[in-house]
Structure 1
Amino acid sequence: MHLTRFTDLGLRLVLRLGEINHGNVDKPAVRTTVAMLAEDINASYAHVARVVATLADMGVLRSERGRAGGVYLQDEALQRTIGGLLRKLEGGGEMVNCMQPVCPYASRDCLLRHRLAAAKEAFFVSLDDLTIAELIDATVANSPHVGLGMPKVS
Structure 2
Amino acid sequence: MHLKRFTDFALRVLIYLALHPGRTISINEIARAFDMSRNHLLKVINELVASEMIITYRGKTGGIRLARDPAAINVGALVRRLEGQAPLINCAEPLCPILPACTLKQVLNEAQHAFFEQLERYTLADLIGTKQEKLVNLLTNHVAGGNA
TM class by smaller structure: 0.7 to 0.9
In structure 2, the partner of 1:59 is 52
Alignment pair present for 1:118 and 2:117: no
- Greater helix content: 2
CA distance in 2, matches of 1:139, 1:113: 39
Distance of aligned partners of 1:112 and 1:34 in 2 relative to their CA distance in 1, 3 Å threshold: same
**Is the 8 Å Cα contact of residues 18 and 73 (structure 1) preserved in structure 2?**
yes
Distance of aligned partners of 1:131 and 1:104 in 2 relative to their CA distance in 1, 3 Å threshold: same
Distance of aligned partners of 1:106 and 1:62 in 2 relative to their CA distance in 1, 3 Å threshold: farther
CA distance in 1, matches of 2:111, 2:40: 28
Cα deviations across residues 85-118 of structure 1 (Å, max 9, x unaligned)? 111111122213456x624359758532232122
Distance of aligned partners of 1:128 and 1:32 in 2 relative to their CA distance in 1, 3 Å threshold: same
CA distance in 1, matches of 2:133, 2:103: 43
Q: How many matched pairs?
A: 145
Unmatched 5+ stretches in structure 1: 22-28
Unmatched 5+ stretches in structure 2: none
70-79 vs 45-54, which moves further: 70-79
CA distance in 1, matches of 2:97, 2:53: 39
**Is the 8 Å Cα contact of residues 59 and 77 (structure 1) preserved in structure 2?**
no
Alignment pair present for 1:46 and 2:39: yes
What percent of counterpart residues are identical?
Answer: 28
CA RMSD of aligned residues (A): 2.8
Mapping 1:5-154, distance limit 5 Å = 5-21=5-21, 29-76=22-69, 78-98=71-91, 102-105=94-97, 111-143=103-135, 145=137, 148=140
CA distance in 1, matches of 2:105, 2:84: 16
Distance of aligned partners of 1:110 and 1:13 in 2 relative to their CA distance in 1, 3 Å threshold: farther
Shift of 1:150: 5.4
